[in-house]
Structure 1
Amino acid sequence: MPERLNRQRHLARITAILVFLLSLLASLGLLWLHAGQQVEQRKLAAVDMARFHINSLQVQLERNLSSAYALAALIKQGRGDIANFDEVAGQLLPFYPQVQALALSPGGIITRTYPLAGNDGALGLNQLTHPLQRDEAILARDARQLTITGPVALAQGGVGLIGRLPVFMTEQADSFWGFVSVVLPLSDLLARAELRRLEERGYAFELWRDRPTAGHTGPSRQRIAGSSLALSGDAITETLILPNGSWQLSLSLPGGWHDLARLSLLGLAALLFSAMLAMLVQLLARTRRQARQLALEVQQQTRDITEARHQLEATLAALPDQLLELDGNGDCLQLYARGDGISAADAGLVGRNVREVLEPTSAGVVLTALEEAARHGCSRGHQFRRRLPGGDAWFELSVSRRKTAAGATEHFVLLSRDISERRRAELEAQSLLERYRSLITASNTGAWEYDQQSGELNCSQEYFSMLGLDKDDFERRHGRRLSRAWQQLLHPEDRERAQHAFSHYLAQQRGGLYENQFRMRHVDGSWVWILSRGRTLQDGDGQPTSLTLGTHIDITQQVRDKERIHFLAHFDALTGLPNRSLLIDRTEQAIHLSRREQKPLALLFLDLDRFKTINDSLGHKIGDQLLNQVAERLRRICRAEDTISRFGGDEFILVLPLTDAAGAAHFAQRLLPAMAEPYAIQQHDIRLSVSLGIALHPHDGRHFHELYHHADIAMYQAKEAGRNGYRFFTAEMHNGYTRMLALENGLRQAIDRQQLSLVYQPQYSLGEHRLLGFEALLRWRHPELGPVSPAEFIPIAEKNGFIVSLGDWVLDTALRQLADWRAQALPPVTLGINISAAQLRQHPLCDRVRLLLQETGVPAEALELELTESVMLDHPQRALAIMDQLHELGVKLALDDFGTGYSSLSYLKRFRLARLKIDQSFVRDLLLDDEDRAIVGAIISLARNLGLGTIAEGVESPEQAQMLHHMGCEQAQGYHLGRPMAAEQATLLLQAAVVCED
């Protein structure tokens, strides 16, 4: 029905809209036709008006211009002249009252004019060349017709028109004599044409012409006269035909040809008419629809009443309970539904009193329910028992007071429901509850029972044992009230949450499982983690009762295990500081806060100086304790908002929010002396320094990895500067670090890609200037960086451990080159090869040298291995053992750069050396510095006393060579004696040299 009515309403609205639109279109169409007719009538009237004034103007122009033809005839008659021009002109002017002046222009030049007074300024004017008259004078001459010029400013004053008639003496074009000109005042002509009457009639008008231009490039519009009202674009135009030209008169109405006011009124009337017609159609449709709807509603209500009556009868018939109507005395007035209720075993219930049907006790319950309903309007929940042939049955009453007429006896509707099954279920549930309570008492699990009505808690002994109590102790200390026990036993951080969760569960009354975790105090003062689970009991109708039963489980160990796992996942197991993953997370959060608040942030990379030496010499246990003490000092120095992390090994990362460059420098200046204080570990008093690298956000990086990387670079710069200091990251550091990485990566592939080579620097005896040997020097040409100095890549190789591979390659290449020289029968020479401390630490060095000597056939005495003093510092006993093995092979040993390191004379006397090499730093200023001369003399004297030879490096002048020889130095090398050279050049040098044998 509603859908049908909605469709009818929709259809009525559409019909009304269509009627409105059609009516409006028809009205507007008629209005449009009427407006068009009105415009045509107005335009026709304007055309008639324009033609009238044009005709009047044309008549005046033609009559006054005819004087020009009379003068032209006299000129032809006089063969180009009028002897008595002034007299003739004076006689003509009275016949043409609007002519102001007459003029003759032979050849186009004005020579005579009448009257002369006021016009004498025009004499001598050439009309064919004058810029204002030239175009139309030429037009008149070429067209051989009278031509009107103007409006123009007249010489005698005012504005006028000039009628210019060309005069030809014959019909030939070359017989042109000149012009006869007639001057007409424009104001008199317009006044006689009465054009101003057009403006008085409400018209805007303009009298204009197309004026020819020079060269006839196109006409330009010239206004002759016009109204003060602006001419609109839809003006009508009428043409005034003149000799050799035309004028145009244009008319328009300022408001347009349409009568907008009248059209607006007619349009509004059409709109109102269409709207009223549409409303009438809609009203008729609504009336018809309401009539149909009213008829349908009557039919529907009749059906609803009938259906409701049938449904009520069916409901009462199917109702298992007894429904009847009683008065206040308990008399049965009507029986609506007959079930197993009050009088299922009785007949003729209507008209009888409940006292006649029920036992006195049960009848009393019914009468009490009636009295309660009389006072309050209804009564619920009264129950009574009745003996029936099949056994005892329980019933529950619901009574409602029925509305009656004023002053009539009160009537009540009573529903009697059989609740025997529910009573039996409640008894069974009570029995189960008693058995469960017995199980709680005897159970070894933490079982509990809570009564919501009394607020009391009943628990098993195991529940109390979890807290180190027995039941009596618990009740004596805390009572049986749950709120009191929780207030005293629950952890303060968990108390409010646990109470809220349990109260929320009870308030929902949806059943389901209750589960929660919290801490409870043990009798020894510790905290026990408890997993509490429970469920509210339900009655026979599935409704929740006031009892909730549950269990408690001790999960303390599981919680500790979980916390330990979480700790190990985010913290360093040794120091307890945040580990790498937690550091990155906290740093990114700090960076986000710094970026949002536009505050600074500093990241410090801290590395313990020479920690590996302490760890290796004193053991890992001491090293671990040292790391713990370092972490503790960092905790004391840093703020609560700072983040400290052990990033790995002996490296720590410090993140300092709200810290700029000045703050970071101040922090570093406090940190360095604090970290340098002695560390007391067992019987050891350890002193330690640290190196710090500092990177600032956002200048040095916008994310953790950028800041960490740049702080790491700055830390290495601090170490290279001498340790126990700090450095801020700079762009130059990054460039240097990038180059170092490029060199480090390229160095690993330099051998395979054949980028390495050897050069050989000759060594000479100073006394006889004989070539005694060469020193093999390593060179590297990087494909992108070009030649790389050994002073740059050798330290990198020593740092990353690649120096051993480089040393093996140099040893192999140099010995094979020496073998090649010997195979060419060149004079025998000694070849010096540098050996690093890392190579010397390897026991296979002797085996490697022995194998190469056997493969190449080079005698051992031709090989000289050059060692630095650093071998004395790192495991000197091992170095002595390896050097003894090399000496046994017959290999010569030389101590390179002697005097620049930490020379130990006690070890020097034990080394089986062949000679000492005097460092070039002492030779460079030998001629100028007395101290350098003293040091060189001492080294030569020491070598001579120990039976060792000497060779000086960096000899660059003959004076240096001469002084060294004078001081007793035996051999030398340097640019003065020979630069490092390729193997081919060294071969040529050997072929030409005279070699002295030792």
Structure 2
Amino acid sequence: MSTANSFIVDELLLDNFPAGVVVHDANSAVLTANVMAERLLGLSAQHMMGLKVDDVTWQFVQPDGSPMAPADFPAARALHGSCKISDLVLGVDTAGLGGIRWLLCSAYPVFNGAAVLTSVVVCFTDCSDLIRAQKALSDSEQRLQLVLRGSNDGCWDWDLANQRIYYSPRWWAMLGYEPGELTSGPALWEQLLHADDRQRVQHFLGAALAGAVDDYAIEFSLLHREGHYVPVQSRGFIQRGPGGTAIRVAGTNTDITERKQFERQLLTTAEHDHLTGLPNRRYLSRELATRLAAARAAATHGAVLLLDLDDFKLINDTEGHSFGDLLLQEVAARLRASMGAVDFVGRLGGDEFVVILAPTASTLAQCSAEAERHCQQLRLALCRPYRLAGSEHTVTPSIGCALFDASTAAADLVFKQADIALYAAKGAGRNTVRFFDPAMQHAIDARARLQGELHDAIARAELEIYYQPQFDVMERLIGAEALLRWNHTVRGVVTPGAFIAVAEMSDLIIRIGDWVLRDASARLATWARDPALSGLTLSVNVSARHLHEDDFVARTLAILRQAGADPHRLAMELTESLLATDAEETIAKMRQLRECGVNFSIDDFGTGFSSLRYIHRFPLKHLKIDQSFVAACNADPNAAAIVEIVIALANKLGLGHVAEGVETPEQLAFLKSLGCTGFQGYLLGRPMPAAQFEALARAQYACTV
């Protein structure tokens, strides 16, 4: 079933349900139909899938035999009126299978947490026997008695003129009595009628008898001998005398306990998580809306806690999904045990859980303190070791909390604020609690605006590559690093530090990465035709998301081919943290590109956490010494020692090395004294537009020829 429709059913249960069931979506298209529906309608489920109510396949007739208009179909009426349609009788033309089959139909609209109608469930049973029996009543009382005697329904016959009523043995048995055990009479069924049904049923029956209809059906509950109520569907036929006055009513009561249980199970399935049994998002949204209404009515405060499990994906990947499911079930059990009777626990999906604290606090400060206490209580409960599948595991939660009061507009807003707070808790190191602060929302809004502007910037060609020169030990130009700049219409030239992190939160980083590769490749192809530039290399930075794209290698080689660039002149700079993520996949992709000539270097070497046992396996060409060590190398012996170690390591591995951030002559001299052979920094050349860089290269070339 579509994820857009939150209505979920157990197909096995559906196919064993004794009535036909067809589910339509909000546009009236059929989503599913059970085996009984196929049998009763004479159509296969495959044939019915996707059919709308106005499809010519549906050919229904009214009880009088006239064609039924599509607008009068049960599903259409429920969709149009957003209301339940009960006990509608219609006929199905089953040509070749016995003529008209009569069905008794009910349609139930299903709404999501925002009170939007998402689907309609149509249930129907074959009432052909009853219709035929009713029509034949005046011709053959004996035939009717035979039909009723063989039925499981409880039959009754009410002589209105003499106020005498007959209840069949099955009618009595349905309620746990022996025939005649109670005083028979028209008042008996009213005495047994559930108090909640009495006024409705009396009004319905009075209208039916006074009207012009000949048959009817209604549902109500009757008291069983053992004290519980039995839900029944009562179907009756009204015999009228001259002038249309009702003189006799006969019918049956059908025990619909199983159907009611199935309907309740359908509702439970639609609103509960199948794994943990907790309420799902739909139920949670409705419950929170109820709590918000209570807070408004009483001028009180409540809270929503959004929890997720730190590194749950890693647990799923390493231990398997079955283990992950066991863990989620245990977490759900601990959450239930930790909450008060008036609090509410649910699961949004994945490893995200929600706790709604009842709005009982009279002040914001009291609510905040209570929420903090609950958060710490939950952390302690969830951090206790889990004994699962024969081993012990420890899991920590991150919790985001949002408070609500009489001024809170909607449930979705509270969930959104709790989600923002959860994101902040994750960013703060995990296994912690964060409360929503409006400043968080402002930061997210600002990030969203920047992301939108960056999206437009790509389309408007506002991005530009600047080139920072790189030099050898003789201070000869040997290449450049491509550094991205954004020519913002309002902010001017924006450096990558202000927008790359935002781009990495979405697929924008992939688009930007491809654009940089295309521009760099085109530049290399142009340089190849100029003697002053043909010997230079060009380095580009590659993000983790870009590198881990499945087709990164093929796409990169295609870009180089299309531009006509020499792969040997292109160098990709990767961070240590990127190399530490899925090392085997990274090594495989690097080797494929290296075999085609592309070079690689580790950017900001020494600041990450790469393992030396991996370094020799990466097909590297250079190590780039981080500028933080370069800046301190003259004054800090530790920084100088690290620079010396990096240079020695590169030499041992046969790699080149480039010092970044060289800004003073003293730094340059010191680096040279340590044996450094490559340099990049403001002392030698700031990042500059392509034309300026190419002019620099041509000027230096002119001095050498």
TM (norm. structure 2) is 0.67
* 2:348 alignment partner, one of 636, 647, 650: 647
- SS in structure 2 of the partner of residue 658 of structure 1: strand
Alpha carbons of 1:916 and 1:444: their partners in 2 closer, same or farther (altered >3 Å)?
same
* 1:774 alignment partner, one of 464, 480, 489: 480
| Letter aligned with residue 795 of structure 1 | A
Tell me how far apart the structure 2 counterparts of residues 528 and 925 of structure 1 sit (CA, whole Å): 85
* 1:459 alignment partner, one of 168, 172, 179: 168
- SS in structure 2 of the partner of residue 864 of structure 1: strand
| Letter aligned with residue 707 of structure 1 | V
Task: Name the counterpart of 1:658.
Answer: 360
Alpha-carbon distance, 1:612 to partner: 3.6
* 2:581 alignment partner, one of 864, 874, 883: 874
Alpha-carbon distance, 1:925 to partner: 2.4
Tell me how far apart the structure 2 counterparts of residues 533 and 515 of structure 1 sit (CA, whole Å): 7
Alpha carbons of 1:606 and 1:745: their partners in 2 closer, same or farther (altered >3 Å)?
farther
1:109-145 C-alpha deviation (Å, 9 max, x unpaired): xxxxxxxxxxxxxxxxxxxxxxxxxxxxxxxxxxxxx
* 1:667 alignment partner, one of 342, 367, 374: 374
- SS in structure 2 of the partner of residue 916 of structure 1: strand
Tell me how far apart the structure 1 counterparts of residues 595 and 627 of structure 2 sit (CA, whole Å): 30
1:443-468 C-alpha deviation (Å, 9 max, x unpaired): 3232345999999985335874x68x
- SS in structure 2 of the partner of residue 773 of structure 1: strand
- SS in structure 1 of the partner of residue 663 of structure 2: coil
Task: Name the counterpart of 2:412.
Answer: 705
Task: Name the counterpart of 2:505.
Answer: 799
Task: Name the counterpart of 2:627.
Answer: 920
Task: Name the counterpart of 2:422.
Answer: 715
Conserved in 2, the CA contact under 8 Å of 1:520 and 1:530?
no
1:921-979 C-alpha deviation (Å, 9 max, x unpaired): 33332233333333333222222222222222222222222222222322222222222
Tell me how far apart the structure 1 counterparts of residues 425 and 645 of structure 2 sit (CA, whole Å): 36
Tell me how far apart the structure 2 counterparts of residues 869 and 897 of structure 1 sit (CA, whole Å): 8
Alpha-carbon distance, 1:991 to partner: 1.8
Percent of counterpart pairs with the same letter?
37
Task: Name the counterpart of 2:33.
Answer: none
Tell me how far apart the structure 2 counterparts of residues 568 and 971 of structure 1 sit (CA, whole Å): 66
Q: Does 1:560 align with 2:261?
A: yes
* 1:977 alignment partner, one of 676, 684, 687: 684
Task: Name the counterpart of 2:302.
Answer: 601
1:496-535 C-alpha deviation (Å, 9 max, x unpaired): 5578988999999978978443377799x99964324568
Task: Name the counterpart of 1:822.
Answer: 528
Task: Name the counterpart of 1:727.
Answer: 434
- SS in structure 2 of the partner of residue 811 of structure 1: helix
Alpha carbons of 1:499 and 1:974: their partners in 2 closer, same or farther (altered >3 Å)?
same
Alpha-carbon distance, 1:432 to partner: 12
Alpha carbons of 1:841 and 1:514: their partners in 2 closer, same or farther (altered >3 Å)?
closer
Alpha-carbon distance, 1:683 to partner: 5.3
1:728-752 C-alpha deviation (Å, 9 max, x unpaired): 2223222211111012222223221
Alpha-carbon distance, 1:843 to partner: 4.4
Conserved in 1, the CA contact under 8 Å of 2:157 and 2:167?
yes
Task: Name the counterpart of 2:221.
Answer: 518
Tell me how far apart the structure 2 counterparts of residues 510 and 729 of structure 1 sit (CA, whole Å): 62
Q: How does 1:72-471 map to 2 (within 5 A)?
A: 442-449=149-156, 458-461=167-170, 464=173
Q: Aligned pair count?
A: 551
| Letter aligned with residue 168 of structure 2 | C
Conserved in 1, the CA contact under 8 Å of 2:486 and 2:494?
yes
* 2:600 alignment partner, one of 887, 890, 893: 893
Q: Does 1:592 align with 2:293?
A: yes
Alpha-carbon distance, 1:989 to partner: 1.6
Conserved in 2, the CA contact under 8 Å of 1:803 and 1:836?
yes
Alpha carbons of 1:482 and 1:965: their partners in 2 closer, same or farther (altered >3 Å)?
farther
Q: Point out where structure 2 has 5 or more consecutive residues left out of the alignment.
A: 1-137, 362-366
Q: Does 1:851 align with 2:558?
A: yes
Q: How does 1:39-78 map to 2 (within 5 A)?
A: none
Tell me how far apart the structure 2 counterparts of residues 723 and 865 of structure 1 sit (CA, whole Å): 33
Tell me how far apart the structure 2 counterparts of residues 519 and 794 of structure 1 sit (CA, whole Å): 69
- SS in structure 1 of the partner of residue 381 of structure 2: helix
Q: Does 1:813 align with 2:519?
A: yes
| Letter aligned with residue 501 of structure 2 | P
Conserved in 2, the CA contact under 8 Å of 1:502 and 1:514?
no
Q: Point out where structure 1 has 5 or more consecutive residues left out of the alignment.
A: 1-430
Alpha-carbon distance, 1:756 to partner: 0.7
| Letter aligned with residue 333 of structure 2 | E
Alpha carbons of 1:849 and 1:441: their partners in 2 closer, same or farther (altered >3 Å)?
closer
Task: Name the counterpart of 1:243.
Answer: none
| Letter aligned with residue 782 of structure 1 | H
| Letter aligned with residue 699 of structure 2 | A
* 1:790 alignment partner, one of 484, 496, 509: 496
- SS in structure 1 of the partner of residue 341 of structure 2: coil
Conserved in 2, the CA contact under 8 Å of 1:770 and 1:994?
no
Task: Name the counterpart of 1:906.
Answer: 613
Alpha carbons of 1:509 and 1:953: their partners in 2 closer, same or farther (altered >3 Å)?
closer
Conserved in 1, the CA contact under 8 Å of 2:662 and 2:684?
yes
Conserved in 2, the CA contact under 8 Å of 1:511 and 1:536?
no
Q: Does 1:637 align with 2:344?
A: no
Task: Name the counterpart of 1:531.
Answer: 233
Alpha-carbon distance, 1:832 to partner: 0.9
Alpha-carbon distance, 1:805 to partner: 1.4
1:273-317 C-alpha deviation (Å, 9 max, x unpaired): xxxxxxxxxxxxxxxxxxxxxxxxxxxxxxxxxxxxxxxxxxxxx
| Letter aligned with residue 564 of structure 1 | Q
Conserved in 2, the CA contact under 8 Å of 1:594 and 1:601?
yes
- SS in structure 2 of the partner of residue 776 of structure 1: strand
Alpha carbons of 1:510 and 1:813: their partners in 2 closer, same or farther (altered >3 Å)?
closer
Alpha-carbon distance, 1:671 to partner: 1.9
Conserved in 2, the CA contact under 8 Å of 1:441 and 1:460?
no
Instruction: Identify which of structures 1 and 2 has the higher relative contact order when contacts are C-alpha pairs closer than 8 Å and 6+ apart.
Output: 2
Task: Name the counterpart of 1:833.
Answer: 540
* 1:696 alignment partner, one of 403, 408, 432: 403
Conserved in 1, the CA contact under 8 Å of 2:522 and 2:564?
no
Alpha-carbon distance, 1:776 to partner: 0.7
Conserved in 2, the CA contact under 8 Å of 1:918 and 1:951?
yes
- SS in structure 2 of the partner of residue 749 of structure 1: helix
Q: Does 1:740 align with 2:441?
A: no
- SS in structure 1 of the partner of residue 460 of structure 2: coil
Alpha carbons of 1:734 and 1:816: their partners in 2 closer, same or farther (altered >3 Å)?
same
| Letter aligned with residue 967 of structure 1 | L
Alpha carbons of 1:441 and 1:691: their partners in 2 closer, same or farther (altered >3 Å)?
closer
Alpha-carbon distance, 1:621 to partner: 4.5
Alpha carbons of 1:944 and 1:434: their partners in 2 closer, same or farther (altered >3 Å)?
closer
| Letter aligned with residue 749 of structure 1 | D
Conserved in 2, the CA contact under 8 Å of 1:448 and 1:463?
no
Conserved in 1, the CA contact under 8 Å of 2:194 and 2:220?
no
- SS in structure 1 of the partner of residue 500 of structure 2: helix
Tell me how far apart the structure 2 counterparts of residues 624 and 931 of structure 1 sit (CA, whole Å): 49
Alpha carbons of 1:984 and 1:893: their partners in 2 closer, same or farther (altered >3 Å)?
same
Alpha-carbon distance, 1:888 to partner: 0.7
